[in-house]
Amino acid sequence: MTSPFLARRPTALTALAAAGLGLTFGAMLLFDAPDTLGVVAFVPWIGLIGFDTGLLGGPAAAGVATGLWFVAGEAANVATESLAISVHFGALLVVGVGSALVGERLRASERAQRNVAALQSALIDSTLDGICLTDADGTLLISNAPLRRLSAELGMPPHGTVPERLLAISERLTEPERYRSRMQELATSVAETSDEFELAGTGRSFRGYTAPVHDRDGLLVGRVWTLREVTADRELERMRDTFVATISHELRTPLTSISGFLEMLQDEEHELGDTGRMYLDVIRRSTERLHDLVEDLLLIAQIEAHRVDLHPSRLDLAALASECIAAARPVAAEKGVSIELLGDHPPPVHGDARRIAQVVDNLVSNAVKFTPENGSVTVSVEGDGDTVHLVVADTGMGIPADEQGQVFSRFFRSRSATHGAIPGTGLGLAISRALVEQHGGTIALHSEEGRGTRVTVTLPADA
């Protein structure tokens, strides 16, 4: 182990202890008191030097102190035996070595803690998010480099609690009143929150998150705050929504023309041969599929813009499901898939018949599409107190477990659908979830790969 004495000059503590050694020696000479004071008078100074300078300084201090004591004894004509000198030196050496070991251990612990702190600081400084920790009152304790940079860019003041600093920039945001209200809530509440705000005139968007921090006993000790710039994400979403809306409207015009000419051809279908009628059927199915896609794209755009108007009424969900099954039965029969409806006369629900039918159509058509020949689809409608459950279960290929968390995302297509070349856009479940949630309900999916899928829609019953 390398002594710090070799690596750096003596510190103030060593200088103080050396002065103490000198003063103690001077007192022995001045008062002729080497026996009265004794070698023990040097112990505190040896301990300090050993603690401060390590394994070289501690024993050296013990040797120097023994020598000073011997010199003081000679000056006072006090006879000192060799055995006494050895015993005293041994005792002081133990003190010097012991204090040196304690000092080395404490310094090693301090170095380890500094290394850990440096690694932790480097870790949080390397994140994209701005992160800080405050005490329960909002006083800043720790912050990382990204947060300090974002704070400077946003013009936050360098002093005050975190809620106060956040409040100071309210006038620079697009919704200052809403922002002030949220920041005032954060100043008085420690609940977990997540908010977004936009910097006026720049288009820069930020997402803030905060959550309480508790110790092992569950006591509140502080709060963690994170800040992330999401400008690129929001811009991408705007571009995507603009693209979806634009392409949907642009496709509608040629589709209208195609549909019009198809109607005219249908009037002359009897004059076409078998080949012509086959071509006409292909065109008709493709046109219907493209029309459904355009309608789905438009609906997604309306959902994202919160422009879907509902016209609720009292609905018999079992009767509505029966109509959807009847519409899907020809396709199911063509695939060799059986469909069964089960119901126990559930209470009515309050909802938009067109939108709820759209949900059921999506779920039933998905079940039929992903179920192989000789499989089955079961639709059940059951009442449970204040709620009504619609369950669509199939014996199809199922969805891999690692993909089930993404099935309600827009344009998501599972591996099994891609590998099986099953047509679809990945919009059905996303639309279904949005419409169900607009009705105050929930939708959940459970699937086992190779065994089938079960989708459950829960809607509030009409009181």
Arithmetic mean of pLDDT over the chain: 85
The pLDDT score that the predictor gives to residue 6 is: 37
Measure the CA–CA gap between 158 and 139, rounded to whole angstroms.
12
Measure the CA–CA gap between 150 and 143, rounded to whole angstroms.
11
The pLDDT score that the predictor gives to residue 9 is: 47
Q: How confident is the model at residue 4 (pLDDT cuts 50, 70, 90)?
A: very low
The pLDDT score that the predictor gives to residue 166 is: 92
159-185 mean pLDDT: 90
Measure the CA–CA gap between 205 and 194, rounded to whole angstroms.
14
Domain co-membership, 334 together with 257: no
Higher per-residue pLDDT: 290 or 34: 290
Domain co-membership, 319 together with 443: yes
Nearest partner of 451 among 404, 402, 398, judged by Cα: 398
The pLDDT score that the predictor gives to residue 306 is: 72
Q: Which two tokens stand for residue 102?
A: 């304690």
CATH number of the domain bearing residue 172? 3.30.450.20
The pLDDT score that the predictor gives to residue 336 is: 92
CATH number of the domain bearing residue 298? 1.10.287.130
Measure the CA–CA gap between 233 and 226, rounded to whole angstroms.
17
DSSP code per residue over 150-191: HHHHHT--SSS-HHHHHHTTGGGBS-HHHHHHHHHHHHH--S
pLDDT exceeds 70 at position 7: no
pTM of the shown model: 0.52
Domain co-membership, 51 together with 174: no
Domain co-membership, 118 together with 21: yes
The pLDDT score that the predictor gives to residue 67 is: 86
379-402 mean pLDDT: 90
pLDDT exceeds 90 at position 227: yes
Measure the CA–CA gap between 53 and 59, rounded to whole angstroms.
10
Q: What separation in angstroms does the CA of 217 have from each of 137, 141, 221, 277, 336? A: 19, 21, 10, 77, 61
Q: How confident is the model at residue 463 (pLDDT cuts 50, 70, 90)?
A: low
Q: Are 393 and 462 in contact (CB under 8 A)?
A: no
Alpha-carbon dihedral of residues 390, 396, 399, 400, nearest 10 degrees?
140
Domain co-membership, 117 together with 135: no
pLDDT exceeds 90 at position 363: yes
Q: Which two tokens stand for residue 338?
A: 């059986």
Amino acid identity of residue 412, one-letter, is F
Residue-wise pLDDT for 108-159, tens only, equals 898 898 898 888 888 888 888 999 999 988 899 999 999 999 999 998 998 8
Domain co-membership, 23 together with 43: yes
Domain co-membership, 37 together with 103: yes
Measure the CA–CA gap between 392 and 321, rounded to whole angstroms.
10
Q: Are 348 and 316 in contact (CB under 8 A)?
A: yes
350-379 mean pLDDT: 92
How many domains would you assign to the chain? 4
Domain co-membership, 336 together with 357: yes
Measure the CA–CA gap between 269 and 443, rounded to whole angstroms.
44
Q: Which residues contact 180 (CB under 8 A, 6 or more apart)?
A: 167, 170
- Final residue before a domain boundary, out of 89, 104, 124: 124
pLDDT exceeds 80 at position 421: no
Residue-wise pLDDT for 307-320, tens only, equals 788 888 999 999 99
pLDDT exceeds 50 at position 329: yes
Amino acid identity of residue 118, one-letter, is A
Q: Which two tokens stand for residue 257?
A: 């023309």
High-pLDDT (> 90) share of the chain, %:
30
Residue-wise pLDDT for 34-82, tens only, equals 677 777 888 889 888 888 888 888 888 888 888 888 888 877 776 667 7
Q: What separation in angstroms does the CA of 151 have from each of 148, 166, 202? A: 5, 9, 16
Domain co-membership, 442 together with 317: yes
- Final residue before a domain boundary, out of 229, 251, 283: 229
343-367 mean pLDDT: 90
Domain co-membership, 453 together with 364: yes
CATH number of the domain bearing residue 318? 3.30.565.10
The pLDDT score that the predictor gives to residue 270 is: 72
The pLDDT score that the predictor gives to residue 91 is: 87
Measure the CA–CA gap between 30 and 362, rounded to whole angstroms.
104
Domain co-membership, 225 together with 135: yes
High-pLDDT (> 70) share of the chain, %:
96
Domain co-membership, 448 together with 320: yes
- Chain centroid to CA 57: how far? 52
Domain that holds residue 205: 130-229
Nearest partner of 45 among 34, 29, 57, 61, judged by Cα: 61
Element housing 339 (H / E):
strand 338-343
Residue-wise pLDDT for 423-456, tens only, equals 777 788 888 999 999 999 999 999 988 889 999 9
Q: Which two tokens stand for residue 216?
A: 């092992």
- Final residue before a domain boundary, out of 281, 304, 327: 304
Where residue 195 falls (left for φ over 0; alpha for ψ -120 to 50; beta otherwise) is: beta
